[in-house]
Structure 1
Amino acid sequence: MLLQANHIVSTEHLIDAVWGEDPPPSARGQVQICISALRRLLALIPAKGEIIRRSPGYCLQISLEDLDSYRFETMVREADHLAQVDAAEAAATLRQALSLWRGPALGGAVSRLLEGKALRLDEARQAALECCIDIELSLGRHRELVGELTDLVEHTPLRERLRGQLMLALHRSGRQADALEVYRMGRALLVGELGLEPGEKLQRLEAAILQGDDSLLLADAGREAVTLTPDQPAPSLRIPPHQLPADIQDFTGHDDLVDAAEEFLRVSGNTATPVVVITGKAGAGKSCLAVHVAHRLAKVFPEGQLYRDMRGSQQQNAPVADVLGTFLRSLGIHGPAVPGSVEERIAMYRSLLADKRMLVVLEDVVSETQVMPLLPGSGGCAVIITSRARLTGLPGALQLEVDVMEEASSLALIAKVIGADRVAAEPNAASALTHMTGGLPLALRIVAARLAARPHWSLASMVRRLTDERYRLDELAHGEMVVRKSLSLTYDGMGETARRLLDLLGLAEGETIPYWFAAAVLDGETYRAMDRLEELVDARLLDVAGIDGGGYPRYKFHGLIRAFSRERLDEHEDDTGKTAALERVLGCWLHLAEEAHRRLYGGDYTLLHGDAPRWRLPEDQLDRLLTRPLDWLEQERANLCAAVVLAGEHGLVEVCWDLTVTLVTLFETRSYFEDWQDTHESALSAARLAGNERGMAALMCSLGSMHLNQQRPALARPLLELAFTRFQELGETHGMALALRNLAMLEYRQGSPDRAEHLYRQALTGFQQVGDLVGEAHVLAKLAQIELDGRRYAEAEAQLGHALNIARQTGSLRVEAQVMHKLGKAHLLSANYKQAEEVGSAVLRMVRENSDIIGESYALHSLGVVYGHRRKFDLSERALRHAAEIRESVMDDLGAAQIRLDLARVLAVQGDVVQARELAEKAQALFQEREATQWTREAGRIIADLVVRERSGRLAER
C-alpha cells in the first residue's frame, strides 16, 4: 500500500501480492486482520499514516514527505537540475539520496508481484549511484572512487557501466594495466556465463585505453590528470547515443501506420526535418508504435537515436532546458561546457546535429511549444513524437492516429503471447476478451500476460474476472503494466474542471453523450459545454461519436475509460454532489422529452406531468435540437430509456414516472412495445417503493394503453380500472379522463358500443374541463366511429369536422392526420369513394412527412379498401399488402390480420377465392386467440361468404 500511497489498492490486488496464484480460502479474512494490525502499528510511529476502507479495497493516506521512496525520487530530480549548473552540489544531493537506503528494496518480500516492484526501486537506486559516480568522475575524484567501484563491480559483476567507470577511474589514476585487467576479467565472465561479448561502449573504452587516447583524461594530453576547474569542459567518451527502449517482440497490427511512418521518415535530401506525430488515447500503443518504427529505421540513421519521455501527461512536464541539457551531454558536451540559457542550448544542439543522420524520439509531448526547441534544424535528422493531444501546429508533420485494435488483430496479439492453441480452444472466450478490453492494446497485453503467467487459467475464467465493470481496472494490471496508472497520468495532468467533468460523465448510461450533458453535470453555461468536452477529446479520454440532428457533436467513452471515470466519481464526489448532478441531467432529459411532445401535439395534451425540477436549455439550442421532434426522440431513444432506469435506481421517482409516460409519444408512434413495457415496469417498481400514488396511477394507465395497442384486453382491463380508481381517490380529473377513454376503447373492441359511448362521453367531459384539446379530439373521433357503425354518416361527419377544427387549433399534424383518417372512413362508408381517396392520399402524405410508420399503415389500409371499391385492384392489393407488412414489422399481428381480411375481399372479387379463404381463416384463428370478439364475427361472415362462392364455382364447373 505504501507503493501506491494515497491510491486505492483492491483487496484482490493485496491477495495477489501476498499469496500469488494460490491464496488460501481465508485470504480476505486474513487481509482484514493484517489491516487491523497495521492500523495499530501506524498509530505508534511519528508519521501520520492512516488506512481507510475505500471500495474495492483500502487506501493508505500519508504525507509524501514521510515516504523515503518519494524523498529519494525528489532528490534525484533535484540533482538532475543541479547537474547543469553545479556538478559538485548535484553529486552531494545524490549521495544524500543514496544514504536513505538500508539494503535491497522491500527486503524480505517473497511475493512475485512485490519482487517486480522491488526490482524497479533497486534499478532506480543503481541508476542514481551510477549517475553520481559519472558526475564525481567529471569532478576529478577518480582516485577516491576506485575503492568503492571495485566493491560495486565485485557485487554486480555483469553491470557494464560500473565496470567502465572503474576502468576510467583506474586509467585516470595512472593504472592502465589494472584498467585493462578489469576489462579482461569482465569479458571472460560475460563469455563464460552468458556467451556474450562486452557491449560496444566497453569495447571502445578498452580500445581507447590501449591507444592511450588523451581525451579520456581531464587535462591536456601527456600531463597527469588534475581536478577540473569551472571553465574546463569534461570530455566524453564520444560514443554515439543509442537511447531507444527495447522493441516489442510481439508487436502486432497497425501495419498501415508503420508503413506510412517509415516511408515519410526515409525521405532524404529535404531541407526540412521530417516529423511524424503519433496520437491516440492512453494505452492505445503510441509508444510501442513509435519505438517499433524507430528500431526499424536504425540503419537509416546510423549516428544514433536520442530518446526522452517529455512527461506531457503528468503535472510536472519535462522542462525543455533539462531535455536539451540531457541531449547535449549525450552528444558529448559535459559539465560547464553546457550553456546556461535555453537559447544557447538550442543553438548548440542544432549545430551538433547539423551534419548528422540521427533520429530523435520524443514521447508523451504535451504541446507544440514543448517540442519546437527540440526539432533539429536540418533535413538529415528525423523526429518521432507521441502525444495524447493533436499537435496540428507543427507545420509539415505527418499526423498518425493510433486507434484501438480490431478483433482480428486483438486475437493475433493474444495468440502471440499465450499461444495460438489456447485461443483456438476457446474462440468465444477469446472474442469476449477483445470486446471487454475494447481493443485497447495495453489492456490486451495485460490480459495476455496474466494468462501466460497462469497456464492453468482458462480464457473463460479471465472473462468472468472482467465481467464486473467495477473491478475491471483492478484485473487489468500485471507487473508494471497497469491500465489505471496509464489513464491516471493523463487525468492528473488536466485542470481541475476537466477532471471533475470526467468524473461526472461517469453518470452517463447511454452509448453516446450529448453536448449539453457537460453543462448539466457542472451546472454551467451550455455555450461552453462543447469546449469542456473537447478538452477531454484532446486528452483522448473521450471520442467524438458523430453529429446529431441539430448539428451538435455527440461523444462516447471507451469502455475502460468509462470504468475509470466511475472510479474517480466514487472517489471524489460525495452522494450529495452526485445526486444533484444526476437531478440536473435527468431534469434536462425530461425538459427535452416533454418539449418534443409539445411540438408534436401542440401542447401538454393527453399527458400527466409531475413536479420534478427541469434543467432547461436556451431557446435557440432547443429549436435546433427539436427541429424534427420525433427524429430527436428516436435518436435519443437508448439514452432516454437508460435515464428512466437510472432515475428509478437512485430513488428520483417523480422524474422517473414523468419521463416514462412522456416517452409514450415515441413508443406508440414507432411501436416500441418492449421499451414501453420495460420502462414502465421499472418506473412502476420505483413508484411503489416510494408510495407515489399519482405516479403509479399514471404508469398503470399508460401500461393499460400499451396492452390495448397490442390487443391484450385481459391484461389491459385490471390496470385501467385500478388506475381510474386511484385517480378518483386523488381527485385527478385529467387522469380519470385518460383512464375512461382507454376503458371505452376496451369496451368497444369487446363488442359493447353502448357501454363504450357512455365512457367516451364521461372522458370527453373530463378533457373539456382540463382543456386537453387533443384528448377531446380523440374522443370525438371515437364517438364518430360509433356513429359510423350505426350508419349515421351525417352525425359522424359533423363530429369529425368538430374534431378536425380542434386538431388544427393545436397545430398537431399527427392528430390532424388521425382525425382526417376517420373522416376518410366516413366518406368510404357513405360510398363517397372519390372523396375518400382524396382524403386518404392527403393523410398518407402527412404521415410520411412526419415519419409516422404506424400512421402510414393505417393510411395504406384505408386507401387499399377505397381502391378496391373503385376497382383499382392492382393498387388495392399493393397498398393492403404493404400495410400488412408494416404491421407485422412492428409486431402488430392482430392489425395485420385485420388488413388481410380486407385483402381477402379484394382477392375474392378478382376470383381468387381459395387464397382469400386461406387469409380469412388464418385471421379468424388469431382473433379467437386474442379474444377479439367483434373481429372474430367479421371473419366468420367473410369465410361463410367465401364458402358459398366456392360452392357456386364448383356447381358452375359441373
Structure 2
Amino acid sequence: MLGPLQVQGATGPLRVPPGRQEVILAALLLESNRVVSTSQLVDLIWEDNPPETARTQVQICVSRLRKLLAGAEGEVTLVTRPPGYVLHTNAGNVDAALFTSLVQRARALRESGDAEEAVGLLRSAVTLWQGECLTGLDSGPLANKARQLNEERLAAVELRIRIELELGRHDRLVGELQRLTHEHPLREKLHGQLIQALYWSGRQAEALEAFRTARRYLADELGLEPSRELRDLEAAILAGELPPPNAAAPSAVPAARPAEPAPEARAEQTSTSAETPATPAAETVRQDTIPHQLPADIADFVADGQRLAALEKALAGGDGRGTVPLAAITGKPGTGKSTLAVHVAHALAETGFPDGQLYCDLRGTTGAPATPVEVLGRFLRALGIPGQLIPESLDERAEMYRTRLASRRVLVVLDDAAGEGQVLPLLPGSRGCAVLVTSRARLTALPGAHRVELDVLDEDRALELLSRIIGEDRVTGEAVAAEALVRTVGQLPLALRIVAARLAARPHWTLASMVHRLANERHRLDELAHGEMTMRASLSLTYEGLAPGDRGLLRLLSMAQAPTLPSWLAGALLDDHRPFPSDLLEPLVDVQMLDVAGMETGGFRYRFHEIIRVYAREQLAVQHPPEERKAAFARMAGGWMHLAQQAHRKVYGGDFTVLHGDAPRWEPPAAYTDEALADPLAWLDAEQGALCGMVEHAADEGLHDLSWDLATSLVTLFEVRGHYDLWERTHRIALAAVRKAGNLRGTAAIRASLGSLYMSRNQYDTARQALYSALDVFQALDDPMGEALCRRDMALIARTGGDDTTALELYGRSLVDFDRAGDVVGRAIVLTQSAHIRMRQGEIDTAQRQLDEALDIYEGIGYTGGRARTLRRVGQLLLEQGRSELAVLTFTEVLELCRDSGDVIGEGHLLRDLGHAFTVMGRPDRARDFFDRAVSAREQIMDFSGGALARLDLARLLTTEPGRSRELLTPAVEVFRDRRMARELTEAERLLGAC
C-alpha cells in the first residue's frame, strides 16, 4: 500500500483488478482486523451517487477478492462480519501496518536511550515505501487516509534526522536535507534541521541563507512569516549562541504563542429562563431573599488565565469608572461563551457578590427571544417581590428592579442576548452590582462594556480539553491522531466537547477512528452530535435567525474554496452589482457566521470556520437546485477570470501574447478592480492560491473553457516569479478538462503554454513536441495568435540550439502571425529576440533598428517588463560595439527594474550580463562578484540551468584557481549533460579537464 496497491503471491505479484475491487481491498487493508461496514464501502466507491445495486456489487467484489487473496503470501482471510467485512492478517503482512509498528518501536527505543537502533528501525520503515501511498487509486475518500500515511512517512524521516543530529552526524545530513527541503519546501521542521546541520558543520553563512530561502518559500506560497522556532534559530546563529542538538536535552519547541481565549462549549445545563414559571411568591416582600440562579460550573473547563483575570477584574469594578461594571462575551457558535460566563460568575459569586446571582437565558438565537418585561418579572420574583406586587409596564418594572438592587451586590448574567435592545433595560443602576452578557452579536452599543471576543482554542488548549474529558493516556497514546482530531473540528470547543464525549462513552474507540469518521464532509455534522449536544442545532439557531437573503448568501459562499474571500464574491454569487458588496456580508459578520480575515489588495477579506462552511454547504445542497448553484458558481469563476484578464492587461498594456476563450466574465465593481489592480503583480501574488484553486474548481465543475483560459492567463505571474511547479500543476488540470470536453482550441492553448514552461526548464525536446502538436491545431483552426505564439517559442528553441537560420525564418513567420492578430507586444518580443541573433551575426545596424522599434512599441503602451527585456538587449549591443561603460549603466537600470517588479528570472540574467561587461572591461574582481551573485540568484529559485551557465562564466575567470574551478564545474557538467546543452557541456568538460 505504500506505493501502488499490490498483493504479493507465492510466485510474484497478484493482479488486483482496478476500480471497485481495488478500492475495497485498500479500505479493508487500511482497517485490517477491524470491521469495515458495507455502507462505508459503498460511500468509498460511489460517494454521492450509489446505484440501487450498490450493496450487491460490493458483495460480488468481496467474493472475487476472497479468491484472489487465497493465493497471497502469508495468512490472510476475508470474512463477513456484520455490518460488513473484516480482513484478518498479521501486522507484518501489510506494509502500512508494519511501517507504523516500526516507527512506534523506534520511538520507544529512542525514549529508552537506544538511538542507534531507533535510527536503523526508522530507515527500515521508510524503505518500505515505493512511492506515494495508494498511487493510482481512484477514490477521493481514501485519499485522506493516504495523505495521513504520507504525512507519517515524512514525520518518520524528520524523527530519524533529528536523532542523527543529536548523534552529531551534521555534515552527512546536509545533502539529504537540501533535497528534502526542495521536495517539501513548506515543511518548516525540515528547514530547521537543515539550518542546524549546516551550522554545526561549520557552514554558518549557508545556514543563514537556508533560513532566508525558507522565509521566501513561506512568503511566496502562503504569505506567512517563518515560525517562532525558525526565527529563534536565526537569532541564535547571529548571536553565536545556538546550542548543539543533544539527545539528553529536551528538544527545541516553538516559543509559546500569545495565549488565546479559553472558549468552551455553551453550557447545556438547564437553568432559570424567561419562559420558566416562577415559584409562587410570598404575600409580602421578603427582604432576605438571596437568589443563586447560576447553572452548574463545568469541571473540565480550560481557560486563558490572563483573560479570566481581566474579566474578573472588570466585573469587580477594578477599572475605577464609577459605573455599573459590564462585560460582554461574544463569539461564533460553539466557542464556549456561556461556559466562560458561568465559570467566571461562579468564581466571583461568594466573595464579590454575596447578595446573589441572577441568571437568564435570553434565547437570542431562537425564534422567540425573551422580552425585557418577561425577564424583569422573573428577576423581581427571584429578589423576593410577590407576583401581585410586580407592575405590568416595562418602565415600572425596570424602576422597581433598580430600586431593589440599589443597596445590594448582585451579579447579573444575561446569556445569549439577541442585541443591545434586549440588554439595556436589564442593567442595574447601582455600581455595587455587575452584569455579564453573552451574545453571538458583538453588542458594540453597550456603554462602557469590557469586551471579550472568543475564537477557537489554540492547539495546546484544545488538547488539554480533550485530555480532561477522555484522559491524558488516550491523548498521549495517539498523539498524532489527537492533533489531527482537534484540527478536523477546527479547534471549536463545542465540537471538541461532542467528539470527546463520544470517545469517553466508547473507550474501545480509537482517536484515529474518530478522525476517520469525521473525514467525510457529508457526514461530519452527523458525527458531531451526542445526547443533547449537537453542532448542527447550535449553528441552526443562528442560521434561522438570519434574514432569508442573508441565509441564501451564506449558502452560496460555501461554494468558494479559497481560505479567505474578497468582498466582490458576494455580489457575483447574487448577481448584485452594488458598488460596496461588503455591505452584503456585514450581517453575516455581525452574528459571526463569517469572520473578517483582514485587509488585502482591494479591501476586506472574509473567511469561514470550516464547520460553519460544512453546515452552509449542507444547506446549499437542500435549498438550491443544481442549475441555480451552477449559475452562481459560473458568475464567481467569471469574476476571477475578469480580474486575472485585467491584471494581464495592466502588465502588458493590453490583451497581448495571450489566448482567451469564450467563457463569460462577471465584472466586480470598477472601484474595487481599480484599487485591487493598482499593482497587478502584487494582486496576482496575493490571490495566487485562490486563482490556482479556481482553475481546478472550474475544471471539476465542467467549466473547461474558463479553466484553460484562467490557467494560461496566470502565466503572467508564473513567468515573472518563477513558479514553475504551479505553472505545470494548473496546466495539467486544465489540460485534462479540455481533453475530456473535446475542446481542441483549449487543448492547443494549454499545450503551447506548457511548451513555454518546458523551454524555461531547458527541456527542449519536450517543449518542441508540445509546440508542434499545438501548432497543428492552430493552423487547422486558422488561429493567428496561437500560430504566432508557437512559432515564436519554436524559434527560441532553434536559437538556443545554435540554428540561427531556422530561428530567423520562424521569427519572420511569427511576425506575420502577430500582425494578423493585431498583437503589437508579440511583434516587439519577436523583434527583440531576433535582434539578439543579428548581433551574433554582426548585423549591428539591423539589430539596432529592431530594438528601437521594440522600444517604441513598449513605451507607447507602457509595458515596463517588455521595455526592460529589450533594454537588456540594447546593453548587449552596446557591449558588442565596445561601449562597455554605457552597457553597464544600461544593465544596472534594467536590474533595478527587475528588482522593483520582483522579476527574479530577469535579475539572474542581468547579474550575468554585468559580469560579462566587467570581464570585457578588464575588471575581473567586479565580474567575479556579479557571477557569484548570479549563481546564487539562479540556484535559489531552482533554475539549475541558469546556475550552471553562471558557474561556467565564473570558471572562465578562475583558471588560476583549479580547486574552486573544479567545485564550480563539476555540478555544471551534470546539468549540461542532463539538459543536453552540447556547446556548454563541451566547454565545461574542457575547462574541468584542465583543472
TM-score by length of 1: 0.74
Confirm or deny: 8 A CA contact 1:476 1:483 kept in the other structure: yes
Name the residue aligned to 2:417. 365
Counterparts of residues 231-270 of structure 1 (less than 5 Å): 239-267=289-317
Say whether the 8 Å CA contact 1:773–1:810 is kept in structure 2. Answer: no
Instruction: Trace 1:469-480 onto structure 2 (pairs within 5 A).
Output: 469-480=521-532
Shift of 1:832: 2.2
Could you list the per-position Cα deviations for residues 213-262 of structure 1 after superposition, in whole angstroms to 9, with x for gaps in the alignment? xx6xxxxxxxxxxxxxxxxx577796422111110100012222211111
Q: Distance in 2 between matches of 1:502 and 1:874?
A: 63
- Is 1:329 the counterpart of 2:381 in the alignment? yes
What are the superposed Cα offsets for residues 623-648 of structure 1, whole Å, 9 maximum, x if unpaired? 21111100100000000011111111
Question: What's the offset of the Cα at 1:940?
Answer: 4.2
Equivalent-residue separation in structure 2 for 1:561 and 1:657 (angstroms): 31
Among 717, 739, 743, the residue aligned to 1:688: 739
1:893 alignment counterpart: 944
- Counterpart code for 2:303: G
Relative to structure 1, is the Cα distance of residues 715 and 320 closer, same or farther in structure 2, using a 3 angstrom cutoff?
same
Aligned to 2:971: 922
1:197-226 Cα offsets, whole Å, 9 max, x none, are xxxxxxxxxxxxxxxxxx6xxxxxxxxxxx
In structure 2, the residue matched to 1:877 is: 928
Structure 2 residue 850 is the aligned partner of structure 1 residue 796: no
Deviation string 1:774-821 (CA, Å, 9 cap, x unpaired) is 111111122112222223333222222222222222210000001111
Equivalent positions of 1:403-552 (< 5 A) are 403-550=455-602, 552=603
The aligned residue for residue 89 of structure 2 is none
Corresponding position: 1:311 with 2:311: no
- Residue 723 of structure 2 is matched in structure 1 by 672
Larger displacement relative to structure 2 (801-810 or 451-460):
801-810
The 3 A distance-change label for structure 1 pair 234 and 495 is farther
Deviation for aligned residue 1:918: 3.5
Match of 1:339 in 2: 391
Unaligned runs of 5+ in 2: 1-33, 44-51, 53-140, 142-267
- C-alpha distance in structure 1 between counterparts of 2:970 and 2:654, whole Å: 44
Q: By how many angstroms is 1:619 displaced?
A: 2.9
Residue of structure 2 equivalent to 1:783: 834
| Pair 1:583 & 2:643 matched | no
* Separation of aligned partners in 1, 2:589 and 2:703: 31
In structure 2, the residue corresponding to 1:385 is in which secondary structure?
A: strand
Q: Deviations over 1:372-395 (max 9, x none)?
A: 000001011111001112112122
d(CA) in 1 for partners of 2:438, 2:468: 25
Cα gap change, 1:29/1:331 in structure 2, threshold over 3 Å: closer, same or farther? farther
User: How much is the aligned-residue C-alpha RMSD, in angstroms?
Assistant: 2.7
1:644 to 1:373, Cα distance in 2 relative to 1, 3 A: same
Give the C-alpha shift of residue 899 in structure 1: 1.3
Alignment match of 1:723 (pick from 771, 774, 782):
774
SS in 2 for 1:528: coil
The alpha carbon displacement at 1:674 in A equals 1.2
Q: How many residue pairs end up in the alignment?
A: 738
| More off after superposition, 324-333 vs 628-637 | 324-333
Once residues 294 and 664 of structure 2 are traced to their aligned partners in structure 1, the CA distance between those partners, rounded to angstroms, is: 58
String of CA shifts for 1:419-449, please: whole Å, max 9, x gaps. Answer: 1111111111111112112221111111211
Q: Which residue of 2 aligns with 1:74?
A: none
Which residues in structure 2 correspond to 1:1-16 (within 5 Å)?
Answer: none
Give 1:933 deviation, angstroms: 2.4
Question: Structure 1: how far apart are the matches of 2:631 and 2:37?
Answer: 42
Asked if 1:757 corresponds to 2:808, the answer is: yes
Deviations 1:81-127 (CA, angstroms, capped at 9, x unpaired): xxxxxxxxxxxxxxxxxxxxxxxxxxxxxxxxxxxxxxx99x99x99
Larger of the two Rg values belongs to structure: 1
Contact 2:331/2:455 (CA < 8 Å) preserved in 1? yes
Tell me which residue corresponds to 1:84.
none
- Supply the AA of the counterpart residue of 2:749: A
Question: Closer, same or farther in 2 for the Cα pair 1:672/1:653, shift >3 Å?
Answer: same
- The one-letter amino acid paired with 2:631 is A
Contact 1:537 1:543 in 2 (8 A): yes
SS at match of 1:364: strand
Distance 2:472 2:822 in 1: 71
Whether contact under 8 Å (1:253, 1:405) holds in the other structure is: no
| 1:381 counterpart = 2:433 | yes
Unaligned stretches of 5+ in structure 1? 1-21, 37-55, 57-119, 139-214, 216-232, 951-958
Structure 1 Cα separation of the partners of residues 489 and 306 of structure 2: 22
Q: How far did residue 301 of structure 1 move? A: 0.9
Correspondent of 2:861 among 810, 816, 824: 810
Q: 1:853: Cα distance to partner?
A: 1.7
Residue pair 2:952, 2:969 contacting (<8 A) in 1 also: yes
Amino acid at match of 2:972: A
Residues 511-559 of structure 1, C-alpha deviation per residue, up to 9 Å, x if partnerless?
1101111111111134331122222122111112121133x11111112
Counterpart-to-counterpart distance in 2, 1:237 and 1:375:
21
Asked if 1 retains the 8 angstrom alpha-carbon contact of 2:418 and 2:439, the reply is yes
> Paired residue for 2:980?
931
Change in CA separation of 1:26 and 1:647 when aligned onto 2, cut-off 3 Å: closer
Take 1:653 and 1:407, find their aligned partners in 2: how far apart are those partners?
40
What is the identity, as a one-letter code, of the residue corresponding to 2:434? A
Which segment is superposed worse, 634-643 or 876-885? 876-885
Amino-acid identity (%): 44
Q: Say which SS state the counterpart of residue 413 (structure 2) adopts.
A: strand
User: Residues 624 and 29 (structure 1 numbering): CA distance in 2 closer, same or farther, change over 3 Å?
Assistant: closer
**1:298 alignment partner, SS class:** helix
Deviation at 1:130, TM superposition (A): 9.7
1:384 counterpart SS class = strand
CA 23–361 in structure 1, closer or farther in 2 if over 3 Å, else same: farther
Kept in 1, the 8 Å contact 2:274–2:370? The answer is: no
Q: Distance in 2 between matches of 1:834 and 1:317?
A: 81
Corresponding residue number in structure 1 for 2:670: 619
**CA deviation after TM superposition for structure 1 residue 614, in Å:** 1.1
Task: Provide the secondary structure at the position in 1 that maps to 2:360.
Answer: strand
Offset from partner CA, 1:393-414 (integer Å, 9 cap, x none): 1222111111211111111111
